[in-house]
């Protein structure tokens, strides 16, 4: 599904932020990406979604070299990837339902074909009664679950979550983790970037990818 081969990233003439990154993400797999603040977790995820280009090495996703993709192919490929940002990125002028449905609207899908799916997904993340609410009245945990629903509405093959429990209490963090585990068991590959060791300890079956000193260390 995804592979990094000797990938390095440098900004300008500064030392490499990431050095000799080699790893694979298999379909239906689950992994935590961790490391100290500033180690490059978000940068690595931006490479995966092709928001950044590596300075050297090769990244392949869904069997294709990302350096060879056209703009149209990059757009199509990104639709197979769900991304949950640390700051939620919900639109305040839209209702919860409209926020979750937005990726499908952007793709030009007919609402009659996805309306029931949006409601079902909102119920799955525990927001079935809040579909008409604007993001401004939601709690931090509700916003995070709304962001999860929006990332899942396109049925991604790969889900990336950047510090998805950083703004919620431990109880809600556990609930959010269980959503990811259920998603993983249904067939989606999951990568969670986090520095929360207690969260990782709740799911010991996951592989750990540890960024430190610009390099990636893998613990199965």
Structural domain contains residue 132: yes
Measured between alpha carbons, how far apart are the two ends of the chain, in Å? 18
Structural domain contains residue 169: no
> What does the radius of gyration of the chain's CA atoms come to, in whole angstroms?
17
Structural domain contains residue 163: no
Q: Which residue range(s) make up the domain with 99?
A: 90-154
Answer whether 131's CB lies under 8 Å from 96's CB.
yes
In a structure prediction context, what are the per-residue pLDDT tens digits for the chain, which is 220 residues long?
999 999 999 988 888 999 999 999 999 999 999 999 889 999 999 999 999 999 999 999 999 999 999 999 999 999 999 998 877 889 999 999 999 999 999 888 888 888 999 999 899 888 988 889 999 999 888 888 898 899 888 889 999 999 888 777 888 888 888 888 988 988 999 999 998 888 899 898 899 999 999 999 999 8
Structural domain contains residue 118: yes
Distance CA 93, CA 199 (A): 33
Structural domain contains residue 146: yes
Distance CA 156, CA 40 (A): 24
Structural domain contains residue 116: yes
Sign of the C-alpha dihedral computed for residues 167, 171, 172 and 175 taken in this order: positive
Any bridge partners for residue 9, and if so which?
18
Distance CA 198, CA 123 (A): 27
Structural domain contains residue 134: yes
Distance CA 44, CA 214 (A): 11
User: pLDDT value at position 89?
Assistant: 86
For the full predicted model, state whether its pTM sits above 0.85. Answer: yes
By three-state DSSP, how is residue 208 classified? Answer: strand
Distance CA 21, CA 14 (A): 18
Distance CA 161, CA 83 (A): 6
User: pLDDT value at position 212?
Assistant: 93
User: pLDDT value at position 33?
Assistant: 96
Structural domain contains residue 135: yes
Instruction: Look at the chain and report how many structural domains it folds into.
Output: 1
């Amino acid at each position: 599904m995804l592979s990094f081969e000797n990938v390095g990233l440098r900004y300008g003439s500064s030392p490499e932020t990431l050095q000799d990154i080699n790893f694979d993400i298999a379909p239906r797999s689950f992994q935590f990406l961790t490391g100290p603040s500033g180690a490059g977790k978000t940068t690595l995820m931006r490479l995966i979604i092709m928001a950044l280009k590596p300075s050297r090495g090769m990244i392949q996703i869904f069997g294709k070299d990302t350096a060879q993709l056209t703009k149209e192919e990059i757009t199509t490929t990104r639709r197979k990837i769900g991304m949950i940002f640390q700051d939620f990125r919900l639109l305040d002028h839209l209702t919860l339902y409209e926020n979750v449905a937005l990726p499908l609207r952007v793709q030009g899908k007919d609402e009659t074909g996805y309306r029931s799916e949006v409601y079902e997904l909102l119920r799955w993340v525990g927001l079935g009664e809040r579909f008409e609410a604007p993001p401004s009245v939601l709690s931090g945990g509700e916003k995070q679950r709304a962001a999860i629903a929006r990332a899942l509405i396109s049925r991604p093959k790969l889900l990336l979550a950047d510090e998805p429990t950083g703004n919620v209490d431990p109880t809600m963090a556990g609930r959010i983790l269980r959503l990811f585990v259920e998603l993983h068991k249904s067939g989606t590959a999951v990568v969670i970037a986090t520095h929360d060791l207690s969260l990782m300890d709740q799911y010991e079956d996951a592989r750990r990818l540890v960024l430190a000193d610009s390099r990636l260390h893998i613990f199965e």
